[in-house]
Every structure is written in C-alpha cells, then in structure tokens.
Amino acid sequence: MIPSHLLNIRMEVTRAYPIIGVLMFLLSSCDPKLDTVNPSNQGQDASGNEVTFDFTNYVAVGNSLTAGFSDGALYREGQESSYPALIAEQLQAVGAPVFEQPLMPEGGGANGAVGAGLEGRLILTGFSESGLPVLEREAPSDNPYTAVSNVDSLHNYGVPGLRLIETAAAGLGTLNPFFSRMLSTSDLLSSYQEVIVQSDPTFFTFWLGNNDILGYATSGGVFGVEGNPDLLGLNGITSASAFELTYNTFIENLTADGQTYGVVMNIPDVLQIPFFTAIPWNSLELDSATATVANATIAQLIRGQVTQEVVVTVVLPTVVAGLVSAGVIPESQQESLILAYTQAYIENPSMPQAVGGFSQDLFDQITQIINTELQKDTVVLIINQATQNAITEINQTTPGAIPEFQAGANGLIVQDLNSPTGLKQLTEGEYVLLSASEKLAQLQETIASGGLDLLAILPLLPTDAEVLDKEEVENIETAIEMYNGIIRNVVDDNEFIILYDVYADYEQVIEQGVNDNGVVLTGDFVTGGAFSLDGIHLTPRGYAYVANRLIQTMNREWKLNIPGVNLIDYRAVEYP
C-alpha cells in the first residue's frame, strides 16, 4: 500500500508524535577542501559604487528557519548550526564580532507548546524488527522559555511560529514563548518590528513570509484562507495587500538610515518539502484480489446508505401507518413515532434503541416488520434501482466520492464530510500530509491482514485536516507567487537590499539534488540530508547549505570575498 521507500509510514513514537522516518541513509564523502579566498568586506553596491560593508552588528530577522529549529523543536545544537550563526562565523574574517543567540538550555529544547504538550526534539533511536525507523521525543529542556541573560546583545531574532503579518502587532511577546524569552520586561509589549529596529543593525538578513502560508498548508486548509477567527487568523493565508504593506514598511524601517544593507530571502514552494511529499497521493497498493474486495466493500457502503434512505422514506411510513390501522398506536402519535424511529435507525440500523418516550418492544416490533419487508422482491428492486441511480448521480456530481480500485497503485481514500458517501479518493495534484502517517500505517496493517471491514477502516482514513485538495493547493501556489512577486518588487525598489532566491535553491535540491563541494543533498525525507525528522525544517547540513548559498549571493551581487562553510562539518539526520 505505502510505497517501498516509505515502507511504512508507521508510527512507533513513544510520545505519539505523527512524524516518522524512512529507510536508512548512508552518505559517505571525502573531506572536501573549500577554495581559499582573501576575505574582504570591500565591495560595490547595486550602482557599482565602492562600499565598505559594515558587519559589526549583523541582525538576523526571521522565523523558525532563522532560529535553527530542527527535528520538531528548537534546541541548542540546531541553533548553533542555524544559517545566521554560520554566516556570522564567516563574517568574523572581515571584522564581525561574536554572534549572540538566545540559546536554549541544554537538553531536548522545546517544540513551542506549553503545559502537557511541551516536548523536546525528535530523535531516531533505532529500527524495528521489520526494519522501520523508530522515533522518540526527548524530554524538553528545563524551563525552556525563561528569558535569556543576553537580551540586550542578541543578533539572532529568529522566532519560531512568527508570521510576517504579526511583526507590527504590539504584545507578541505575551503570546509567543520563543519571542518572550528574547525580551526584557520593558520590551514585552513591544512589536517585533520595534525590537528589530531598536537593535540598530548595520547589516541584516530577512526571511519572513513562510508561516503566512505554512500554517494553512500544514492544517489541511480546514480554517479556510481567513484562518481561525479565534486565533487572529492563525492557519490562514495572509492577504497580498497586508503582506505587501507589512513587508514594505519593515524593510523601509530597516534601511531608513541610508547605510544599512541587507539580504532578503523569498518563499520556497512549501508543497515540495517532505511534509507534503513523503506520502504520495496514490500510495494505496493493492493486489487484484484485494482490489476486488475493496470495490465490493464500497458497493456495500453505497447500497447500505440507499437502503437506509428507502427504509426511512418508504418502508417506515408504511409500517407505522399499518400499526395505526391495526390500533397498535393512536394516529396522533404517528408522526412523532416516525421521527423517533428514524433518529434511532440512523444511529443503529441493526438494533434501533427506543427514544421519544416509546417502548423498546414497539421499536423491536417495527424493526422486525422492516426486516421482513426488505426481503420482498418489490423492495429489493426499489433498492437496486435506487442504488444504481445514486451511483450514477454521485459520479456525475461528485467525482471521487465513490472510490474505484485496481491492482497496483490507487489514490488514497480520505474522509470527506462534504461527500455524499463520506469518502473521497485522491487524484494527482492532491497531497497527503505527513501527520497522517500513523493512521496510514495502521491501515496498511489492517488491509495486509485481510481486514476490509468498513467500521475498522473508516477511523484510519485521513481527515480533511490531513490532506490538501486541488482548491487548497491552488490557494497555496497563488499566495507563494504573489508573495514572491511582492518581495521581488521591494528588492527592485531598494538599493540597499539584494535577493537570495531560496525558492530556486529548494527546487534544485528537491527536484535534482545538489553537490556542494562533494556533499550531496536531496529532498528525500530523512535520507536526503537536507530536511530534518519533522519534514519541514532543515538539518544542520541543510542550514549550512543555505548559509553557503546566501554568502555566494552576497559575493556575487556585492563583489565581496566572504569565505563559505564546509558542509561535511555539519550533520544530516543523526543515526543511533
């Protein structure tokens, strides 16, 4: 069912976290030597004027990707390998000071939750007897959200969970625990933009906007593009107008002094990252016999739904009318009995339980008569014809609501409350989220054991929150295109900033792979070296690649000589 490269998607997670790994990854490489350069901060601006770039106060602006979030948590090793930290280390060759970060306490770090949901990073602890990777959550660090002692000298202001649209809002420190630990008591009610501008950078990197889409994508778009109204639009998509206004204002404030230079980064295609690609839409693998049984099971489902409708609309009224004629119940109770039995029948067709003040004996009598009527040829013909009509109508009006199976790869089946059958079969261009992996592993085991009972299967099917349909995909792709167009325009209109095209680099890594001085990175989940165990954030090696590419952009656009980092010095996914 699940493709062999994910054989699996099975959750063996001690603390029930829905992210899993795939097969072993072994990457061997020689110890490559980077080209030596004569480090220099002497360069040229966009107009070709000679400039001495001032890196004495490098401030990194961004979200979890800037903070060094990895493996589902912010922890110290990830921070120390964050791309701003690696860039800052290279800038020391041209006079930059030590880069100050709000380092987490030693230990597993924090996943951003508070209370009972607080956990540390994901780790790979080994492999099961069947060869599947086993993931566990480390315990969180002690007091992970306590304010750091160097709040007045920080350089890395990467805040996990931060959306661009939130950066101008006062009091964010009271809502985001990662931001609050960066602030002094007097700054707790300041906006993120105010804190950044007050830090008075001489140089900055700026990577914001990902989370203005990502929350919508990782929640399956269940709150719509407007997001959750109870949480200030969280898990929605920021409008293009709001994005443009906020982005423009922020960059203008950072470069207002006419001497602060920066590198801005655009938004990668989030739909290409492993969280959305590790489980293919058509990863339901069936043999011929199982496909036949699955089709029969779906047919049984449709017939059962039609039978219920025939019972409620045709058979039941006739039965109750007969009881009235026989003097079993008074005519005044006829309508209320039909309503009460309908309610009970829908809840439990095989044994409706008495409600509405009627006796169980009466309900049992009605059930017995209905079961007898359902065996009659005339009723069977009605059900057969109604079933065929229902199938025809559903196929015409709601494609995919009646799944069809064949030997080989099939589109996955998901729960859909808007479907007349309660089901939907995915088609190409739709996505299953990695958060559905535990269910799909159980579904695979159930099917492999010969179990195709609907009651057992339905709870194992992904829900709307665990898939992206074509409309939701289009919303995401449209937003990315609009955001990146806005960012491009901001860069074109401001001589103090340049663009690092992260979108293109992610695409290169994921679609073709890259070789950075002898170290190969691909977008494969766990095995590719770039993405961490959460399927969204990067590994230390992935962050090192971003650092290198950003430095290369600076060297190319500003004619600088900043040395790069050696990727072999930074790990990919860590094996036990």
**pLDDT tens sequence across 259-303:** 999 999 999 999 999 999 999 999 888 889 888 888 888 888 889
Flag the least confident range among 162-171, 335-344, 447-456, 462-471. Answer: 447-456
SS3 23: coil
Percent of all residues in the chain with a pLDDT value above 90, rounded to a whole number: 77
Instruction: Estimate the crossing angle of helix 211-218 against helix 470-492, to 10 degrees.
Output: 170
CA–CA separation, 16 vs 116, rounded Å? 13
Query: Which pairing describes strands 514-516 and 497-500: parallel, antiparallel, or unpaired?
Result: unpaired
Stated pTM of the model: 0.85
Q: Which helix (H) or strand (E) holds 342?
A: helix 334-347
pLDDT band at 134, cuts 50/70/90?
confident
The per-residue pLDDT for 19 is 32
Distances, alpha carbon 65 to alpha carbons 61, 392, 502, in Å: 10, 49, 12
Instruction: Estimate the crossing angle of helix 240-254 against helix 470-492, to 10 degrees.
Output: 30
SS3 126: strand
Cβ neighbour number for residue 492 with a 10 Å cutoff = 11
**Locus of tokens 């566990």:** 136
The per-residue pLDDT for 127 is 64
pLDDT exceeds 90 at position 316: yes
> 420 versus 69: which is more confidently predicted?
69
Distances, alpha carbon 369 to alpha carbons 51, 303, 358, 420, in Å: 93, 20, 17, 28
> 202 versus 135: which is more confidently predicted?
202
pLDDT band at 128, cuts 50/70/90?
low
**pLDDT tens sequence across 364-388:** 999 999 999 999 999 999 999 999 9
CA–CA separation, 55 vs 57, rounded Å? 5
pLDDT exceeds 90 at position 428: yes
The per-residue pLDDT for 353 is 96
H-helix segments, 398-469: 437-448, 454-457
At 161, list the tokens: 């969970």
**pLDDT tens sequence across 517-527:** 899 999 999 89
pLDDT band at 133, cuts 50/70/90?
low
- Could you write out the DSSP letters of every residue in 185-212? GGGTTS-HHHHHHHT--SEEEEE--THH
CA–CA separation, 434 vs 275, rounded Å? 5
**pLDDT tens sequence across 76-102:** 999 999 999 999 999 999 989 999 999
Contact (CB, 8 A) for 497 and 255: yes
Percent of all residues in the chain with a pLDDT value above 70, rounded to a whole number: 92
- Close Cβ partners of 258 (under 8 Å, ≥ 6 residues apart): 496
